[in-house]
Chain A
């Protein structure tokens, strides 16, 4: 069964460093998402991406964040200058249809720890 994969599974970084989280969505999917879950809190929407551009982003997704689909298969989330409060589990998801009511399939997540 096709699945969303994410690398790395864990990343530890120093405050102020740049990190890139990588995702390989399901191959025939057209809609891509990043979410995060800070320990003990809700899963929060960060950004949605369709047709090579951001379709919606949350207030969390400020200028320090960017997304890219560099080669038609990978989908990346970059945090330019990490802060302590960026420590969280980051989930990538992809969906095949119009987005409305379409099931989103989640990857296993990347646990980011900013020291």
Chain B
């Protein structure tokens, strides 16, 4: 069974501080992991991805860390801004090579000014 889990439904952070969003997966047969951000009434927007052969990828304020032994990944946002307030989805691509995404439940991030 290929599952992706985000166990924290919400997170509240002060502007300027670090936001850490977590994600766990239950199957080792994932090829890539991605983070998407979603605002109400919009589709998910790609943020950052990481290959299963890497342990870190950084893009500006966003860094994704992958711990394969723990089957865990996290998204760090530094510094957090009020505009980052949205629902964040962790997603994984299995090795099936069709590119389908398996999503977590999402974590709602609120960044307070």
Contact = CB atoms under 8 A, between A and B. Distances in A.
A78 B104 CA distance: 26
Contacts of A106: 36, 43-45
A108 B44 CA distance: 8
A84 to B, nearest CB: 23
A50 B99 CA distance: 10
B43 A31 contact: no
A100 B32 contact: yes
Contacts of B89: 43
Contact of B100 (A41, A42, A56, A105): A56
B31 A43 contact: no
Interface in A45-70: 45, 48, 50, 55-56, 58
B97 to A, nearest CB: 6
Nearest to B48: A103
B102 A101 contact: no
Given A101-B31, A101-B51, A35 B99 contact: no
A interface: dominant SS: strand
Contacts of B34: 103
Interface string B84-113: 000001000100111111111110000000
B42 interface: yes
Nearest to B89: A43
Contacts of B31: 100-101
A61 to B, nearest CB: 11
A75 interface: no
B101 A104 contact: yes
B49 interface: yes
Contact of B101 (A35, A50, A108, A109): A35
Contacts of B101: 33, 35, 43, 45, 93, 104
A42 B104 contact: yes
5 contacts: A33-B100, A95-B99, A103-B34, A104-B99, A106-B44
